Structure 1
Amino acid sequence: MLSLPSSLAIIGLIPGLLLILFLGVFATYTSYLLVQFKLRHPEVHNMGDAGYILFGPVGREVLSAGTLVFAVLATGGQLLAGQIALSALSGGKLCLMLYTGIFAVPTLLFSAPRTLDRLTYLSVLAVASIIIAGLIGMIGAGLHPTPGHHIVAVRASSFYLAFFSITNPVFAYAGHFMFFILISEMKKPQDAMKAAYTLQIGATTLYAVFAVLMYVYLGAGVQSPAFSSLPPKWAKAAYGVALPNFLIAGSLYAHTAAKLLFVRLFRHSRHLHSHTVTGWSAWALLILLANSLAFILAISVPIFSYLIGIAASLFASWYTYGIAGAFWLHDAYHDNPGGKGFGTWRRKWRQAALAMATFVAGAFICVAGTYVTVRGIVEAYRDGTVGSPFAC
């Protein structure tokens, strides 16, 4: 959410707003396809299991690896968000690595529960914190607008700059890779779509309102994250309130990475559901490993933010958008009354066409997103804006 105003500054108010709304609707549609696939295949626990149904053993390994990589990098991204927040709150008095380390400790602790119901109320707190922080940011921007700023309805830009900015709203809806794991632990999985509607409507509304108001008041110079463009007191207030969101989001991502491996190891054993020494020891090790990798990558890789962009382009583009179309096409092919075949595709040609378009859209986002991110890395090294590993 905090990067969306800067996207509007690059492509203009109207295209940016339309893109956020369109992607919200698109993500809702793909949420529906994912939920329906899960309900039809209750044995699916994560994207790796879905990959096995679609593409066999190779699909399982590729989609499982993608989930692990993206979850660990997303955890690191939240650690950096916490680093920025703590630095703003303290006036940057400590080395940035220390802020990251300080934030990594509670992230590790909150990701430790083995079941997601233990994180439910913390997640409610996280949602409330980012909503209130967004309100604080919008009020601060409204009371202290950037003097002489200009609002551009439509801004011409190169494909590279435009799509580079578009990756922010595209990956604002990148939580779909967790859906199967979340639904697997719901008391009533058939209610999953209610949760998905609540998520997408709430998120899209907040994204649109926040992005527009922050851009309108702060103009083309709005930073990413947007709170950094506020006066110091307002920035500290917003970052302080947003801290629980950064913390719980990072914990959920680390939990997801560990949970995938834990279920893979103990799926057909008592250690998955019982309190055994072996089960808890393995879980503790996996949680420590996921959080440690995220921390090490966040502080040691100078192009870490670009690395997240590459992972999102390679995997989140499929998990959130493209592969949902493949789920529908797969089940429709196998649901043909006369046996396996394309009869259902022909009868439901509109749905089939939409599913195919969804798959193509995922492929385009994957290729274009990877291209602009790699080009961004090249330009960053050329301009000398890349820092050094373990720098303060």
Structure 2
Amino acid sequence: MNHQHDYVDASGEDSRELQYNKDIRSNHVVPDPFGNEENHQIKYKTLSWELVSVLMIAEIVSNGMLSLPSSLAVVGIVPGVILIVFLGIFATYTSYLLVQFKLRHPEVHSMGDAGYILFGPIGREVLASGTVIFAVFATGGQLLAGQIALAQLSDNKLCLMLYTGIFAVPTLICSFPRTLDRLSWLSIPSVLSILIAGIVGMIGAGIHPAPNKHIDVAKPSSFYAAFISITNPVFAYAGHFMFFILMSEMKKPQDAMKAAYTLQGFATTFYTIFAIVTYVYLGNDVTSPSFSSLKTKWAKAAYGIALPNFLIAGSLYAHTAAKLIFVRLFRSSSHLHSHTWTGWSTWFVLIFLMNAAAFVLAIGVPIFNYLIGIAASLFASWYTYGIAGAFWLHDTYHDGGGTRAWKRKWGQSLLAAATFTAGVFICIAGTYVTIKGIVDAYKSDAVGKPFSC
């Protein structure tokens, strides 16, 4: 396994690789973000692949799945199911590329570190900033899911902003642990809650199907409507931006693909079954989130059971945003591994800021749901799909003899290039349809006021 790029190919080592090796030697880049932890007070590398599987499922299989039945209502059941399954397989392939890249570059802790290897200092800042932005927006999305659930459970007796605030408090508290292994144990009931909630939702739809429901095998629609519906399953798999951070806290990173296979197998199977069953019983009028289309008592039951998942997923996102900055600040410092006042105070401030930013955005920006879509298009499309192809092309080029290696492995090269191209398409098309949705919402006066009930 090549941990560094200390080689020279036929064309000579390019300037970025030379600079990267200089940074390694001058300790600007540490080969392992957490180093040897034997005598440290705070140990990070404690996760088993089983616990990483739970963390991945808790983070990815969440409120995003509740939009999948409505996607089938737009494009039809056959194209919708094919898309869900294809994206699950595609996400498994990109997971493999990410895992291999991390194993070859153990110094990578986040997408920012990976961006430095690919594109230099600018790449580090862009990908690190994108990770933090997307994680904060994703936290806000979970706060809104909690808001909807609490409002449903209490028959909308309070101002929606208050529900968001109520849900934000436990989300903040649960994101405070410094290491992911503490959050992994909280993620076990989180996974059970979304699994049981989905089953309850399907049972509720089956017992009380929509009257006069209509189901389409395939349904023609405009590019705008179709791609809006396509973004639902695309971003339902959008959790890869956490992979490097999760792997950095594994006891045996070599087992990461076991966790990825578990995640993608569970997610693809559950997404497919949930989308089909819910759509078949509720038809084309199913809403997003789909639990809101159920009879009141079943909607309350499903939302109530799903609450722990929304809570822990939000905590994981906020934790990820804070962890990236924290490791960046204190890498190779005693504050990372010791119980110092500086370390703990900085950690508390970062966690508070990430949660506070998510809360303010969720209640203060009327078009926040659209902004989540833009953030997902700009960043998640790359982290989950496109940039994985760039990782493979980069490593193959530098380790295998330049373009000759690409030609020798032409099949894999074409697949990696196609993966990168897919990221470009999802990014551009997703951003376009989301911006168009914002414009249409303002034209139809469907946008509310900030900080309103």
TM-score normalised by L of structure 2: 0.86
Supply the distance in 1 between the matched residues of 2:236 and 2:405 (Cα, whole angstroms). Answer: 33
- In structure 2, the partner of 1:42 is 106
C-alpha separation between the residues in 1 aligned to 2:402 and 2:68? 43
Q: Report the equivalent of 1:60.
A: 124
Q: Which one-letter code corresponds to 2:442 in the other structure? A: Y
Q: Counterpart of 1:345?
A: 406
Partner of 1:386, secondary structure, is coil
TM-superposed deviation, 1:343: 1.5
Q: Would you say 1:355 and 2:419 are equivalent positions?
A: no
Q: Indicate whether 1:386 and 2:447 are aligned.
A: yes
Superposed displacement of residue 342, structure 1? 1.1
Say which of 322, 344, 351 aligns to 1:287.
351
What residue in structure 2 maps to residue 132 of structure 1?
A: 196
CA distance in 2, matches of 1:120, 1:257: 17
**Residue 279 (structure 2) pairs with residue 208 (structure 1):** no
2:326 to 249, 252, 262: 262
With normalisation by structure 1, the TM-score equals 0.99
Alignment-mate amino acid for residue 119 of structure 1: L
Post-superposition offset of 1:175:
0.3
CA shift digits 1:295-324 (9 cap, x unpaired): 000000000000000000000000000000
Q: Hey, what does 2:185 align to over in structure 1?
A: 121
Instruction: After superposition, give the CA deviation of every residue in 1:320-353 in whole Å (9 maximum; x if it has no partner).
Output: 00000000000000112xxx41111111110000
Hey, what's the Cα distance between the residues in 1 that align with 2:283 and 2:231? 20
1:101 aligned onto 2:162: no
Q: 1:311 aligns with which of 375, 378, 390?
A: 375
Distance in 1 (alpha carbons) for counterparts of 2:189 and 2:288: 24
Instruction: State the alpha-carbon separation in 2 of the partners of residues 343 and 357 from structure 1.
Output: 19
State how 1:220-235 maps to structure 2 within 5 Å: 220-235=284-299
Deviation per CA, 1:58-96: give whole Å up to 9, x if none. Answer: 000000010010000000000000000000000000000
Match among 420, 426, 429 for residue 368 of structure 1:
429
- Aligned partner letter, 1:207: Y
Query: What is the CA–CA distance in structure 1 between the aligned matches of 2:223 and 2:390, rounded to whole Å?
Result: 28
In structure 2, what residue type is equivalent to 1:4?
Answer: L
> 4+ runs of 1 displaced by more than 4 Å?
none
2:84 is the alignment partner of 1:17: no
Query: What SS does the aligned partner of 2:66 have?
Result: coil
Between the aligned partners of 1:249 and 1:216, the Cα distance in structure 2 is 28
Q: Which amino acid aligns with 2:156?
A: G
Q: Alpha-carbon deviations, 1:7-61, whole Å to 9, x = none?
A: 0000110000000000000000000000000000000000000000000000000
Write 1 or 2 for the structure with the bigger share of helix.
1
Q: Which amino acid in 2 is paired with 1:321?
A: Y
Once residues 299 and 74 of structure 2 are traced to their aligned partners in structure 1, the CA distance between those partners, rounded to angstroms, is 22
For structure 2, the residue ranges without an aligned partner over 5 or more in a row are: 1-64
Instruction: Return the alpha-carbon distance in structure 1 between the equivalents of residues 244 and 120 of structure 2.
Output: 18
Q: Match for residue 55 of structure 2?
A: none
Q: Which whole-Å CA distance do the structure 2 matches of 1:188 and 1:125 have between them? A: 24
CA RMSD of aligned residues (A): 0.5
Question: Any gaps of 5 or more consecutive residues in structure 1?
Answer: none
1:299 aligned partner: 363
CA distance in 2, matches of 1:147, 1:281: 56
Distance (Å, rounded) in 1 between the aligned partners of 2:189 and 2:410: 44
Q: Is the aligned partner of 1:243 residue 2:307?
A: yes
What is the SS of the residue equivalent to 1:146? coil
Look up the match of 1:277: 341
The separation in 2 between residues aligned to 1:303 and 1:37, in whole angstroms, is 36
In 1: Cα distance, 2:129 partner to 2:439 partner: 26
Count of aligned residue pairs for this structure pair: 389
The one-letter code of the counterpart of 2:416 is A
Partner residue of 1:178 out of 232, 235, 242? 242
Q: 2:432 is aligned with what amino acid?
A: Y
